Amino acid sequence: MVHICGVWSNYSSSALCPSHAYWPEKRPTRGSGSHVNIHASLRRPVPVAPVVLTAVVLLAASACGGSASGSASGDGGVEGDLSGTIRVDGSSTVAPLSTAAAQLFQGENPGVRVTVGTSGTGGGFEKFCAGETDISDASRPIEADEKAACQKNDITYEELQIANDGLSVVVNKDNDFAECLTVEQLKKIWEPGSKVNNWNQVDPKFPDEKLELFGPGTDSGTFDYFTEAINGEEGASRTEYSPSEDDNVTVQGVSGSKGGMGYFGLSYYEENKDELKVLKIDGGDGCVEPTSKTVQDGSYKPLSRPLFIYPKASSLDKPEVEAFVEYYVENSAEIAEKALFVPLNQTQQAELNKDLERLRGQHGS
């Protein structure tokens, strides 16, 4: 684990923090009004070297967070003398959002330590329902068995949608024959027991080239969402592919294989578009490319999805956790944009605002 730009991380240093980020003038700052300036180092790390499958980010406000003395925008306010530790774990997709929110929050609250882990959505809920964390990051809604585990341990929680994401299906940048795939073709490739091993088995017009598959591991909410959307059953997938809980490994696999294909969150493609090619998906109404607009308006189907945080109710009674969640929610749109995710649409944002007002009434001091 290394210390980079105020961040303790298992990621490689150049992935998290470009060299210029060490200089004070390049630190993340809060501008005028409610604008949030999130440094590129908080976004998806670029695949510069193999990294470990489980990363834990420990954010130290003194290095990159700035020394702002103001409070967070909004009625709740964030006191600069807050202290304590906030434990966040779960989806590797949501982690860049929580990391950005944490670093900015700590810039105004240096007495608070926020840890952000990436155990995957399923792994995160295991820890959350065992009482080990305060907030669980998730790229899918909590499931029945996870709800039961929380209930067994008297863990109650709130569900807050904080951004949108699309799953991008990517191929090698030198792939000059695949432009769009139907849901049926994707299912043919990824369904359990699939025998598709060459591109010409997907479409006779494609060349007789080996198809090498890469994707998330089974603890990933991305895996859950993709298998349900494409194969019709969550968790139903062929096993003959290279899995990893770290999307950087998928980036490296696809970019290093001429016949490669993989899938992950749209923001990872945006960070690595020079190395990859994204496919359009035909969900029944023609080929649609994944973009912020098509994800937000729902036309990119069936691979658009919501992203969540799940704060534990008892943790929200702690001033530092309540303040962090309020800060996260109030700045969610700008955090999403700067971290290359898709902000909530108007209806979703209105619902989130209602949730925040309700939480203030229940847990506000």
User: For the residues 208-214, what does the mean pLDDT come to?
Assistant: 98
Residues 16, 67: contact at Cβ < 8 Å?
A: no
Scanning 160-273, the segments in alpha helix (DSSP H) are 183-190, 221-231, 247-255, 266-271
Q: What is the pLDDT of residues 4-23, one digit of tens each?
A: 333 333 333 333 333 222 22
CA distance 69 to 181: 51
Give how far Cα 46 sits from Cα of 49, 53, 179, 275, Å: 9, 15, 24, 10
Q: Please, what CATH class does the domain formed by 2-164+307-363 belong to? A: alpha beta
CATH architecture of the domain 165-304 equals 3-Layer(aba) Sandwich (3.40)
pLDDT score, position 56: 34
Instruction: Say whether pLDDT at 317 is over 60.
Output: yes
Q: Do domains 2-164+307-363 and 165-304 have the same CATH topology?
A: yes
User: For the residues 84-113, what does the mean pLDDT come to?
Assistant: 94
Tokens of 211: 């198809």
Instruction: Say whether pLDDT at 360 is over 90.
Output: no
Q: What is the pLDDT of residues 41-62, one digit of tens each?
A: 343 433 333 322 233 334 333 3
Q: Which residue's entry shows tokens 């008297």? A: 154
CA distance 178 to 276: 13
Listed by start position, the domains of the chain span 2-164+307-363, 165-304
Q: Enumerate the β-bridge partners of residue 138.
A: 308
Scanning the chain, the segments in alpha helix (DSSP H) are 13-16, 61-64, 95-108, 121-129, 144-152, 183-190, 221-231, 247-255, 266-271, 292-296, 313-316, 319-330, 332-338, 346-363
Pairing of strands 280-282, 287-288: antiparallel
Q: Enumerate the β-bridge partners of residue 283.
A: none
Confidence of residue 65 (pLDDT cuts 50, 70, 90): very low
CA distance 204 to 191: 19
Neighbours of 362 (CB within 10 A): 12
User: For the residues 193-219, what does the mean pLDDT come to?
Assistant: 96
pTM passes above 0.75: no
